[in-house]
Amino acid sequence: MKKRLLPLIGCLSILCTSVLFSQQDYRNSNQINSALRALVSRHSSNASLKSLTKTIGNKDIWALTLSNGKADNNPAIAIVGGVEGNHLLGVELTVKLAENILNNHKDILENTTFYIFPNMSPDATEQYFRKLKYERIGNAKKTDDDRDGVVNEDGYEDLNNDNLITLIRVEDPTGDYKVLEDDERIMVKADTKKGEKGNYKVFSEGIDNDHDGVFNEDGEGGVAFNKNLTYNFPYFKPGAGEHPVSEKEHRALLDFLYEKWNVFSVLTFGPANNLSTPLKYNAPNAKKRVVTSILKEDENLNKFISETYNKITETKEAPKSITKGGGFFEWSYFHFGKLAMSTPAWWPSKIKGDSITKPSKNPKASFLQWANEEGITDVFVDWTEIKHPDFPNQKVEVGGIVPFKMLNPPYQKIDTIAKKHTDFVLEIAKIQPSVSFNNLKTEVLGSGLTRITVDLYNSGLIPTHTEMGTRSRWLRKINVRLKLAKGQEVISGNKFQLIDAIGEDDTMQLTWLIKGKGNLQIEAGAPHTGTEKTTIKL
């Protein structure tokens, strides 16, 4: 009897240990690396892991490929996390999406490949796990952001010794900040057009080390991944780098993607958001030599994809999309020409309010209201007076929202968020562009001649090419070709022909006049639509 109990006790012990040590907070680089290796080990026939390069901070830039073993043979979706170093949620979601697909939806890999890049800013995201916590977005490169000839000379100082970098506010009648009426913890700029006057100056927590009147403008932070891409590059801005695609991680990712002709869509987890609210077409900007508006056909596609996203994820009251130039999402549409999708994936919902508490329109105050309703208490550092060497005769206080809290939900919410976004990605895979032959007809005309007519059909609800992709001429066109047997000759029609695009649920009729007998093979497709083959006996 005791022997029979031993295995049961062992199982219970393992279960209890698993529950006891279940993940309670975001995972650092080493933990993410271990999770990726373990995932590939468990699913070796459907997953592979490759380090594209190492950052200056010696962190791997991983490419995780999920496929049926023949990755290049199917249309592919690229999924990118960590485009902003303070958005740890994006990193976690990429890994959990991969886990969900491999554990529960492996059948989707028969028709779709996934290229997943969990973290493009590993130098920056590690700041969350260090003793001094602040929202870093740049890599480990030493930079001269204030262009004074010295690098990294004015970083943050923890003035209240709480290991968090928040804000300092200085009482000053010449200041342009005031407390928010909705929540006096929040500082906002005074609106002089409304007769408001400021009575505070506000800076990031620290000291003006180089005595130039600016605080913490040139500390550790390096080049930000989401500022260093080619579209609308922000020249001479802090964190942008000396020129577009200046960093190893940028070049490695773009080199990888440019060689993967089967990618039809790119999903980015970051501050840009065209999924909750689709982009709007602007005719003048769309007609510029350098296009700065989504094109008209792509506007309709974006609207359809957005409706699908909102229905599946049930997200509401999305924050305004943030794009500042040099961003990855913008590159993926304007310069890569793919179906580009981006979302922060989570944001605090607005409270319903009551007769006492009204929902605030200010994002920070709204966040604090949400946190209070959720019973989350570790999101704000109360304003505390300190002595500051740069303001010896003024009242100075340290306080503000805790770093990372507004962008990253409590870890316990991530599985639910990941499940909804997995469902969305699976839906995109199901409606991806896919070409096939339909309504094949052959007519024997005599004298060894046969007329062949067939419809090349895109069964997907996504067009084979975005309008931007067609306009850029970068995406490979649909290639239709005949493979003639000995003695066969094309009398009418093209042996080879290229098709610019086929719309969603649309067809293009093809016809040839062939002389000869035997088997004739027709092949049509592109790497990002799949290839269809059929054989006809003449």
Cβ contacts of residue 515 below 8 Å, gap of 6+?
447, 448, 449, 450, 488, 489, 490, 491
Residues 355/176, Cβ–Cβ less than 8 Å: no
Cα 97 from Cα 77, distance rounded (Å): 12
* Torsion angle (degrees, nearest 10) of CA 257, 259, 263, 268: 0
Cβ contact 186:364 at 8 Å: yes
- Between CA 196 and CA 363 the distance in angstroms is 20
E strand or H helix at 398, and its extent? Answer: strand 396-401
- How many of the other CB atoms lie within 10 Å of CB of 55? 23
Where in the chain are the domains?
28-127+222-347+410-430, 144-220+349-405, 435-537
Sign of the Cα pseudo-torsion (198, 203, 206, 208, in order) = negative
Burial of residue 257 (CB within 10 Å: 0-12, 13-18, 19+) is buried
Q: Which residue, among 185, 176, 127, has the nearest Cα to 156 in the 3D structure?
A: 127
Instruction: Give percent of the chain above pLDDT 70.
Output: 92
Three-class SS state of 260: coil
Q: What is the per-residue pLDDT for 3?
A: 46
pLDDT at residue 337 in the model: 96
CB-CB neighbours of 231 under 10 Å? 21
What's the pLDDT score for residue 153?
57
Q: Which CATH architecture has domain 435-537?
A: Sandwich (2.60)
- Cα pseudo-dihedral 58, 46, 457, 465, rounded to 10: 0
In whole angstroms, what is the distance from residue 304 CA to residue 275 CA? 10
Q: How far is CA 231 from CA 109, 234, 482, in A?
A: 32, 9, 40
Integer CA distances (angstroms), 401 to 126, 178, 348, 371, 388, in order: 19, 16, 14, 11, 20
> CA torsion angle for 371, 374, 375, 376 (degrees, to 10)?
-40
Hunting for tokens 């501050």 — which residue is that? 271
* Cβ 480 vs Cβ 522: under 8 Å: yes
Distance CA 45, CA 393 (A): 68
Locus of tokens 């916590």: 133
Identify residue 285 by its one-letter amino acid code.
Answer: N
Question: Rounded to an integer, what is the distance from CA 347 to the centroid of its chain?
Answer: 15
Q: Which two tokens stand for residue 369?
A: 């209201």
pLDDT of residue 85: 95
d(CA 93, CA 82): 10
Distance CA 349, CA 317 (A): 7
Task: Say which CATH class 28-127+222-347+410-430 falls into.
Answer: alpha beta
φ, ψ of residue 440 to 5 degrees: the values are -70, 130
Of 322, 410, 310, the closest CA to residue 370 belongs to 410
- The span from the CA of 400 to the CA of 128, in Å, is 17
C-alpha distance from residue 312 to each of 57, 306, 422 (Å): 38, 10, 10
Q: Which residues of the chain have pLDDT under 50?
A: 1-20
Q: Is 285 helix (H, G, I), strand (E, B) or coil?
A: helix
Q: At what angle do helices 88-104 and 29-42 cross, to 10 degrees?
A: 10
Q: List pLDDT tens digits, range 258-286.
A: 999 999 999 999 999 999 999 999 999 99
CA angle 134, 140, 143 (to 5 degrees): 95
Rama region for 473: left / alpha / beta (φ>0; ψ in -120 to 50; rest): left
CB 135 within 8 A of CB 404: yes
pLDDT at residue number 324: 87
> What is the model's pLDDT at position 266?
98
As a whole number of angstroms, the distance between CA 266 and CA 229 comes to 15
Q: What pLDDT was estimated at residue 23?
A: 76
Q: Which residue has the tokens 């403008």?
A: 217
Give the residue from 222, 220, 217 showing the smallest Cα distance to 241: 222
Strands 263-269 and 339-343: parallel
Q: Exposed, middle or buried by CB within 10 Å (0-12, 13-18, 19+), for 237? A: middle
C-alpha 328/C-alpha 470 separation (Å) is 20
408 and 89 in contact (C-beta within 8 Å)? yes
Cα–Cα nearest to 83, from 466, 265, 404, 344? 344
Cα Dmax for the chain: 104
